Amino acid sequence: MKNKSLNLSIVIPVYNEERYLNSCLESIAKQSVKPDEVILVDNNSTDKSLDIAKKYKFVKVLHEPRQHQVFAQRTGFNAAKGDILGRIDGDSILPPDWVYKVKQAFEDKNVVAVTGGADPYDVPVWLVGFGLFHGYIYLAGLIAGNRIIWGANCAIRRSAWFRIRSKVLMRGDIWEDYDMSFCLKGVGKVKYIPKMRVGVSFRAIHTTFIKHVRYQFRSVRTFYFRTSYLRLFLFIMLWTTTFIVYPLAAFDDWLLQRRERKGQTT
């Protein structure tokens, strides 16, 4: 099998992920092709995330005191030894062939990064959540003029990371995956793998309206720093759809609470 010659490190920035982390690490343990390295970067967790991580002998734990995924990601990527740097979140649940598919994709020497889609596991209105996510990120890529990679399900060639790491924005008010996408423009091919979907929580939309808007506005700020005013304007038009999504998220919350209450009574 050709992809055996490529080593893959998985990097997981973690901040208070005790609710999700066990499922994430279990999915890594069950990979049909094992990763060569798994690095968990603790970003000042105050819950039991580290206790969970210590149960898995294949996990190497690093610490990053600067608060935000952009700093934790950088620490993990710089420390990783693999030819390929996989990047997921603490709530990501990988399909059993994730490592295999990533390694296989990088057999094409023109590929510098890969990304896949989301399979939300805490959204009762699954089809709506699935469609909104994929539609949004696809349109964002069209406006950006380059493929947008998604931080909860992506991988970058180590050599490409070292080419762009001095260019990425080291600030906590942006989306680091969007920013990395812009930095990769012109470096090589960014490949989207349709069948490489990762289970994730859509927790970002299950919050207050103000927090939801502030979180989503980080994407606008990233476009502001990286694109022309025309592309920024077009993206802002797309971004306003977040106001439409919130009522759907509120309805989804109601369904979740109803389901949980039902489960408690049975």
Q: What is the pLDDT of residue 223?
A: 97
Q: Determine the average pLDDT of the residues in 183-210.
A: 86
Of residues 2, 3, 1, 27, the one with CA closest to residue 103: 3
Q: Determine the average pLDDT of the residues in 94-105.
A: 97
Cβ pair 98, 31 in contact under 8 A: yes
The pTM for the full model equals: 0.89
Residues 65 and 59: their CA atoms lie apart, in Å, by: 19
Q: Which of 6-20, 54-68, 219-233, 243-257 is least confident? A: 243-257
Torsion angle in degrees (nearest 10) through CA of 53, 56, 57, 62: -20
Q: Grade residue 215 by pLDDT with cuts at 50, 70 and 90.
A: confident
* pLDDT score of 184 more than 90: yes
207: burial class by Cβ within 10 Å (0-12, 13-18, 19+)? Answer: middle
* pLDDT score of 30 more than 70: yes
Residue 239 vs residue 59, higher pLDDT: 59
Cβ pair 196, 117 in contact under 8 A: yes
* pLDDT score of 63 more than 60: yes
Residues 33 and 175: their CA atoms lie apart, in Å, by: 30
Q: Does domain 7-202 bear CATH number 3.90.550.10?
A: yes
Angle at 136 between CA 128 and CA 11, to 5 degrees: 100
DSSP class of residue 42? E
Q: Determine the average pLDDT of the residues in 65-80.
A: 97
Q: What is the pLDDT of residues 139-161, one digit of tens each?
A: 999 999 999 999 999 999 999 99
Q: What is the pLDDT of residue 85?
A: 98
Alpha-carbon 32 to chain mean position: 21
Residues 194 and 7: their CA atoms lie apart, in Å, by: 23
CA dist 219 → 69, 182, 234 (Å) = 14, 12, 13
Residues 177 and 224: their CA atoms lie apart, in Å, by: 15
Q: What is the pLDDT of residues 216-263, one digit of tens each?
A: 899 999 999 999 999 999 999 998 877 666 666 655 555 555 655 665
Residue 178 vs residue 240, higher pLDDT: 178
Residues 214 and 64: their CA atoms lie apart, in Å, by: 24
Q: What is the pLDDT of residue 261?
A: 62
* pLDDT score of 66 more than 90: yes
Residues 100 and 93: their CA atoms lie apart, in Å, by: 15
Task: Indicate the average pLDDT of the chain.
Answer: 89
Q: What is the pLDDT of residue 22?
A: 97
Length of the chain: 266
* pLDDT score of 124 more than 70: no
Q: What is the pLDDT of residue 2?
A: 47
Q: What is the pLDDT of residue 163?
A: 97
- The angle, 0 to 180 degrees and rounded to 10, between the axes of the packed helices 242-265 and 209-226 is 140
